Amino acid sequence: MNSNFTNDNITHIKKGNLEYITFNILNKYKDKLIHGFFFKNGGVSKGIYSSLNFRILGNDSKKNVFKNIDIVKKELNLSKVYKAMQAHSDNILILDNNNKSKYEIEKLNNEEYDSYVIAEKDISTIITTADCNPIIIYDPVNNVVANVHSGWKGTIKQIYIKTVKLMNRKYGSKYNDIIVCIGPSINKCCFCSSSLEFKKQFTDIWPNENEYITNKENGEFYIDLPYVIKKDLIRLGLKKENIILSEICTVCNNDVCFSYRFLKKQNELDYATMGTFVELK
């Protein structure tokens, strides 16, 4: 429970039991952008959901999930929080002051979106994850931000590339200016499989597997998803130094992170999720 992830890229904030990280590259714009990747402690949920759980569709009490959201709203001084249904899709929602009322988190809108693009103030969003990659994409020049959910399925669909391209098309965001921060997720140390069919889904898109897959003699292999995302974005034209990985593995750090894989290994039937929040000021 005493991990401290502060380094050159990350500031780890602890307020009692409440803990989250911010990225220093985004903190340079803190007069315009609020963000935080929250760990699992400091909330009110109980049992396997203990305690800062944001998963509304699980068996945790919704009342507690909304209380958890209020804890973060208070901590970051956020306005209302908006959300649709995450579905490992590559659907992107442009959230604005005209359409936002449909997506108030309490309304549990079941339209499927895994990326929110926001160019207006006072619209806060949450991405929930427990091993998948939470990604914040920010264009400080045009003040446009995206909050993105990219697990292995979203990564295969390259939702982060589609989001960057949309920001470019719609808001004129230049690849050179865009900052990308990837929060805690399952890292290569733990993202393991032995299914060749599973592997093929990756190597069909990224044939140079030596770059991001480590094969073990027993047939198991380990995939580095944050690396794949970073490489893809560099290939697209983003600056290497503007893409920052947290390098925090949710499975290895399951004392502070909710991890789907970790809970499945304990034969739990349900799971909890952490929250990544962004809002333009």
Interface residues with Zn ion (CB under 5 A)?
187, 189-190, 249, 251-252
Nearest to Zn ion of 167, 186 (CB atom): 186
Least distance (Å) from Zn ion to the CB of residue 230?
17
Which residue's CB atom is positioned nearest to Zn ion? 249
Nearest to Zn ion of 71, 249 (CB atom): 249
Least distance (Å) from Zn ion to the CB of residue 250?
8
Peptide bond into 101 cis (omega under 30): no
Nearest to 151 by CA among 125, 181, 126, 131: 131
Nearest to Zn ion of 189, 205 (CB atom): 189
Least distance (Å) from Zn ion to the CB of residue 222?
9
Nearest to Zn ion of 155, 187 (CB atom): 187
Both tokens of residue 196?
């060749």
Nearest to Zn ion of 115, 254 (CB atom): 254
Least distance (Å) from Zn ion to the CB of residue 190?
3
